[in-house]
């Protein structure tokens, strides 16, 4: 049986620099064959020449089958991926991509209310064409520090003005999330993507929404205040020490234990590993709550006990 293909190659067709230090990248098959289909809210892994792997939302129309479009905001304080995208890629370059994945799918029914903070607008840019095509009711709230940083404005040209609400801090029109939640109907779904402070506010304001609150986080979890602990491999009994300044994944690799990984930032779940005992500190950004009693992500998860036992073999 042939091995499943988990990656596809694509060529950079266009690069467009937008206000707010955002680069829009159009990707296609070299011979313009259709790319694997995706659904509204999906993302891909971009494999950069340096070996870095970064996740970016697909911002194009899911009905367009021969192009992927991503938008990357330059982050000078980041881990280097966005700087490489801005400084190291050129039109005509061939890059490897993962198959599209969707941890932020659009609800099948009900009104969709979207709140985007900064570059957190990107997952909604694939939802909008689908919502418009289906004739669904929706509202989009776009939040940014200033009008000048609203680099994706041109991609919202097709949104009816009565459904688009712009909030700029420097114009005194900051969004009140609690007030917005209070206006939601019983069947409305609230989608939020943006910086941590926005997501924390949405979590607090939307506590009563249950599974009608959907959030997508971006960026690496921060390892702070961690103390050293031990990892035991259940199938062999081998014990590996994880230092205070070390991730569980790094310690496993040093010991020769191979664990699949991709983002190493807690946003893809490629390294999801079963644990059998111990107290993990979950720092991933997307694992469903119901799976946290059984799985952790060694790329960012820590440990609150002296030892944690993983369902892993010898190296």
The b-or-e profile of 88-107 (16+ CB within 10 A means b, else e) is: ebeeeeebebbbbbbbbebe
Looking at per-residue confidence, does 186 or 287 come out higher? 186
Query: Domain limits of the chain?
Result: 7-98, 112-216, 229-310
> CA-CA distance, 30 to 170, in Å (whole number)?
44
Contact 216, 103 (CB under 8 A): yes
Contact 24, 18 (CB under 8 A): yes
Q: Mean per-residue pLDDT for 282-298?
A: 88
pLDDT digits (tens, 9 = 90+) for 39-74: 999 999 898 998 888 889 999 999 999 999 999 999
Looking at the domain covering 7-98, what would its CATH class be?
Answer: mainly beta
Q: Mean per-residue pLDDT for 234-260?
A: 89
* pTM (whole model) above 0.85: no
Q: Select 229-310's CATH number: 3.40.309.10, 3.20.20.80, 3.40.640.10, 3.10.20.30.
A: 3.10.20.30
Does this chain's domain 112-216 share its CATH topology with 229-310?
no
3-class DSSP string for 10-48: EEEEEEEEECCCEEEEEEECCCCCCCCCCCCCCEEEEEC
Task: Please report where in the chains the tokens 């313009």 appear, as a residue.
Answer: 32
Looking at the domain covering 112-216, what would its CATH class be?
Answer: alpha beta
């Amino acid at each position: 049986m042939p091995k499943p293909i988990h990656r596809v190659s694509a060529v950079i067709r266009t690069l467009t620099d937008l206000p707010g230090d955002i680069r829009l990248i159009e990707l296609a098959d070299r011979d313009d064959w259709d790319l694997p289909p995706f659904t509204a809210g999906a993302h891909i892994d971009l494999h950069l020449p340096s070996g870095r792997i970064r996740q970016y939302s697909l911002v194009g129309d899911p009905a367009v089958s021969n192009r992927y479009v991503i938008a990357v905001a330059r982050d000078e304080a980041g881990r280097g991926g966005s700087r490489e995208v801005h400084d190291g890629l050129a039109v005509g370059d061939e890059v490897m991509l993962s198959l599209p994945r969707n941890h932020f799918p659009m609800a099948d029914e009900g009104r969709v209310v979207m709140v985007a903070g900064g570059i957190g607008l990107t997952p909604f840019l694939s939802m909008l064409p689908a919502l418009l095509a289906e004739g669904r009711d929706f509202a989009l709230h776009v939040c940014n520090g200033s009008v000048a940083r609203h680099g994706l404005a041109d991609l919202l040209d097709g949104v009816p003005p009565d459904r688009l609400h712009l909030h700029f801090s420097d114009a005194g029109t900051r969004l009140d999330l609690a007030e917005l939640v209070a206006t939601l109907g019983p069947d409305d779904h609230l989608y939020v993507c943006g910086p941590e402070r926005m997501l924390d506010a949405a979590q607090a304001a939307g506590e009563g929404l249950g599974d009608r609150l959907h959030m997508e986080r971006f960026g690496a979890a921060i390892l702070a205040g961690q103390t050293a602990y031990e990892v035991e491999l259940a199938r062999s009994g081998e014990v590996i020490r994880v230092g205070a300044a070390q991730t569980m994944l790094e310690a496993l690799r040093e010991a020769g234990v191979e664990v699949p990984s991709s983002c190493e930032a807690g946003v893809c779940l490629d390294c999801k590993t079963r644990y059998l005992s111990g107290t993990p500190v979950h720092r991933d950004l997307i694992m469903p709550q119901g799976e946290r009693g059984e799985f952790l992500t060694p790329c960012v998860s820590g440990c609150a006990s002296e030892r944690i036992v993983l369902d892993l073999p010898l190296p």
